[in-house]
Amino acid sequence: MTLSSAPSLPRKPASDKDASAITEIEQSPWFDAEWYSKQYPDVAVSGMSPAEHYFALGEGWGRQAGPRFDTEYYLERHQDVARAKVSPLLHFIRNGEKEGRSPIQLMAFDKEELLWQQTAISSALKALHGLLAHQDAWEASYAAWALGRWYAWKGEWQRCADILASRHQYHDTKPATPAPWLLEVEALIHCGQLVNAWQRIQQLIAAYPDYPDTSLALSNLLAVQASIQEGRTATQADALTEQFRLQHINALFLKADLHPIALIDPSQPLTLDNLKAENQAITGTVASDDGLVSIIMPVFNAEAHLATALRSLAEQTYANLEVLVVDDASTDGSLTIAQAFSQEDARFKVLSQPANQGAYAARNRGLAASKGDFITVHDSDDWSHPQKIEMQVAGLISNPEWNVCSSDMVRCYSSLLFRRWRVEALDGWIYRNTSSLMMRRKVVDSLGYWDKVRCSADTEYLHRICAAYGNKTLGVVLKGVPLAFCREQPQSLSQTSTTHLVTQFNGIRFDYMQAAAQWHASAEQPSDLYLPANPETRPFPAPAANLPG
């Protein structure tokens, strides 16, 4: 908006809350009063201080707070802030900076987006490599981060490590979060540079002492250190290493006042299939009469690891459960394993699909049969901490304004080596477990079933909930504590080419969510977003490759 078109508004006395916000802006390094006054000469004749003018008028007109904070860009890039209708600068001061959000547009952002959209890979890579020498530390450091993530995805770990190491020459970097350190540690471990990895971990601890992923990085480092000595039988030293690994993992649980975990068989290695609660007799702190929890588990040819998933549910401290195992016409021994659990524990019920229809159709079968006050999902190859269900129920009971509740997860191999296909700027290996939201019964009564597609229906349902009820009805328990260990399977839909997670930037997942967003935006009330289990027509289009069959 030009000076001549800027509206003249009557001044109102600032409330105590506004006065506090103005003081916060004045004291922030992100607001440059001198720059703001020179950039916008009408400030001098307004009778207001620069910070007061920005807060009362300038921000609403989309003016920049300084050369390093672009108001319009911040709102455009961070739609959650725009939807919340809060001051973008105050959001950045209070939360955004800690979360690693960027206050201005960088050339490196644009090139990275082209890279992940895979529309101009060669030119984007060339441009990002050129930006490594940029005089602006933000451009150079973010270019290194963008390239590091790309080479990590491609498995070029030495290139990843070398490029991320270049970030250490700068005092002020973007993103200013622990995620680049974590990725560098992972790259160094992959390259066998264990001493360098250890040194980086120590620097990471010093810079971000409360970063939870560091414990998992230490566990990974110990695992790789032990594995380099091949061709010999296990020794007491190996067993001790496994206990040290377990100690690092348990540090996350103990810090959150959760029960530690232990090995089922101490003579065997630490694996996802060798975990149990340290004390099998532990009980929860939340009364099990707070409501029945229905846990839906779709199963297809999961014989190798199904018992691990079922056992982790049988050992939950919250006992008022029904576990609905929906066998999707498996051709292996999955059905036999599930039926054995149901014979030993009446809380386990087995439903069989007449033909293979996909995971979301199986979920819908379980949802139709569920009786719980709360509903959640558990994958057939994952392991959950014994207090996962208890913590999510407690969150919903103590926060009646929540309609749904999420917890965090971490992906790992069966060997309990932790990873993530693409480390995000704002977190690390530990992130929200969208696939196992816990919902109140009224949510599914109002919004219905999962979309019967091959991938991304979890995310669509989450967005549908937020569109119907607002973001504030989505709660989170124990942020940064992985209450589920999700097994990496090479044949999983998230790792196969057609439906790979990279298609969220350009491809099946992106197109599907864009169409879903238009449907969500069209709703005037929650019931407008009700989806039957078997709708006669789709409420929004889906890419053909995302449809079953």
Q: What is the pLDDT of residues 471-492, one digit of tens each?
A: 899 999 999 999 999 999 766 5
**pTM of the predicted structure, to 2 decimals:** 0.88
Residue whose C-alpha is closest to residue 315's, from 261, 370, 252 = 261
> Does residue 247 fall inside a structural domain?
no
Give Cα 115 distance to the centre of its chain.
Answer: 21
Residue whose C-alpha is closest to residue 227's, from 238, 212, 216, 217 = 238
Q: Are residues 306 and 190 in the same domain?
A: no
How far lies 154's CA from each of 126, 157, 188, 421, in Å?
16, 8, 15, 10
> Does residue 234 fall inside a structural domain?
no
Distance linking the first and last C-alpha atoms of the chain: 53
Confidence category of residue 426, pLDDT binned at 50, 70, 90? confident
Model pLDDT, residue 4: 37
What sign has the CA pseudo-torsion 173, 199, 261, 312?
positive
Per-residue pLDDT of 328-350, as tens digits, reads 999 999 999 999 999 999 999 99
Q: Are residues 534 and 400 in the same domain?
A: yes
What sign has the CA pseudo-torsion 8, 9, 12, 14?
negative
Per-residue pLDDT of 46-97, as tens digits, reads 999 999 999 999 999 999 999 999 999 999 988 889 888 899 999 999 998 8
Nearest 5°: phi and psi at 472?
-70, -10
Q: Are residues 37 and 163 in the same domain?
A: no
Per-residue pLDDT of 359-377, as tens digits, reads 999 999 999 999 999 999 9
Which residue stretches of 154-274 are H helix?
157-165, 179-190, 194-207, 213-227, 236-255
What secondary structure does DSSP assign to 481-539, as a single string? -EEEEEEP-TTSTTTSTTT-GGGGTSSHHHHHHHHHHHHHHT-SSGGGG-B-SS-SS-S
Identify the residue whose tokens are 């190798």: 304
CA atoms in the 13 A half-sphere facing the CB of 403? 21
CA atoms in the 13 A half-sphere facing the CB of 142? 23
Query: Where a domain ends, among 99, 120, 144?
Result: 99
CA atoms in the 13 A half-sphere facing the CB of 462? 18
Confidence category of residue 1, pLDDT binned at 50, 70, 90? very low
Q: Which two tokens stand for residue 452?
A: 């019967």
Model pLDDT, residue 496: 60
What secondary structure does DSSP assign to 111-140, as a single string? HHHHHHHTSSHHHHHHHHHHHTT-SSHHHH
Q: Are residues 536 and 479 in the same domain?
A: yes
Residue whose C-alpha is closest to residue 182's, from 173, 160, 9 = 160
> Does residue 141 fall inside a structural domain?
yes
Q: Are residues 89 and 142 in the same domain?
A: no
Q: Are residues 92 and 111 in the same domain?
A: no
The residue segments making up the domain with residue 179 are: 107-211
Q: What does the alpha-carbon distance between residue 421 and residue 392 come to, in Å, rounded to a whole number? A: 26
> Does residue 281 fall inside a structural domain?
no
C-beta separation of 473 from 465 below 8 A: yes
Contacts for 251 with CB less than 8 Å, ≥ 6 apart: 215
Strands 408-412, 418-419: pairing is antiparallel
Indicate the number of domains in the chain: 3
> Does residue 274 fall inside a structural domain?
no
Q: Which two tokens stand for residue 255?
A: 């810090």
Q: Are residues 71 and 197 in the same domain?
A: no
Q: Are residues 362 and 484 in the same domain?
A: yes
Q: What does the alpha-carbon distance between residue 459 and residue 504 come to, in Å, rounded to a whole number? A: 11
Confidence category of residue 327, pLDDT binned at 50, 70, 90? very high
Q: Are residues 193 and 54 in the same domain?
A: no
> Does residue 238 fall inside a structural domain?
no
Confidence category of residue 281, pLDDT binned at 50, 70, 90? low
By mean pLDDT, which of 111-115, 285-289, 303-307, 532-536 is the weakest?
A: 285-289
The CATH number assigned to the domain holding 120 equals 1.25.40
C-beta separation of 529 from 468 below 8 A: yes
Confidence category of residue 98, pLDDT binned at 50, 70, 90? confident
Give Cα 337 distance to the centre of its chain.
Answer: 31
Q: What does the alpha-carbon distance between residue 225 and residue 343 come to, in Å, rounded to a whole number? A: 43
Residue whose C-alpha is closest to residue 379's, from 391, 390, 363 = 363
Strand partners, 408: 432, 482
Query: Where a domain ends, among 152, 185, 211?
Result: 211
Per-residue pLDDT of 410-423, as tens digits, reads 999 999 999 999 99
Q: Are residues 337 and 440 in the same domain?
A: yes
Nearest 5°: phi and psi at 178?
-75, -10
Query: Where a domain ends, among 182, 211, 240?
Result: 211
Q: Is the pLDDT of residue 208 over 60?
A: yes
Q: Are residues 194 and 66 in the same domain?
A: no
The CATH number assigned to the domain holding 486 equals 3.90.550.10
Q: What does the alpha-carbon distance between residue 254 and residue 276 come to, in Å, rounded to a whole number? A: 15
What sign has the CA pseudo-torsion 383, 386, 388, 390?
positive
Strands 321-327, 293-299: pairing is parallel
Classify 152 as helix, strand or coil: helix
Q: Are residues 159 and 206 in the same domain?
A: yes
Confidence category of residue 125, pLDDT binned at 50, 70, 90? very high
Provide mean pLDDT across the span 272-290. 73
How far lies 134's CA from each of 141, 207, 415, in Å?
9, 25, 41
> Does residue 256 fall inside a structural domain?
no
> Does residue 262 fall inside a structural domain?
no
What secondary structure does DSSP assign to 291-309, as a single string? --EEEEEEESS-TTTHHHH
